[in-house]
Amino acid sequence: MSGKFEGHVAIITGAGNSLGRSQALAPARRGAKVMINDLI
């Protein structure tokens, strides 16, 4: 499945912990650049 999101950027808010973190890692594993914004 890697390579499906190469060249794409995902902006994910609230991804510092738990479910949000796993949601942020999914597109990153497939090649997307991921920007995470979370206020802890």
Give per-residue pLDDT as tens, 1-40. Answer: 557 888 999 888 887 777 888 888 889 999 999 988 887 6
Q: What is the pLDDT of residue 40?
A: 66
**Residue showing tokens 């497939």:** 30
Predicted pLDDT at 30: 92
Structure pTM?
0.66
**In contact, 29 and 2? CB cutoff 8 Å:** yes
β partners of residue 35: 11
What pLDDT was estimated at residue 2? 56
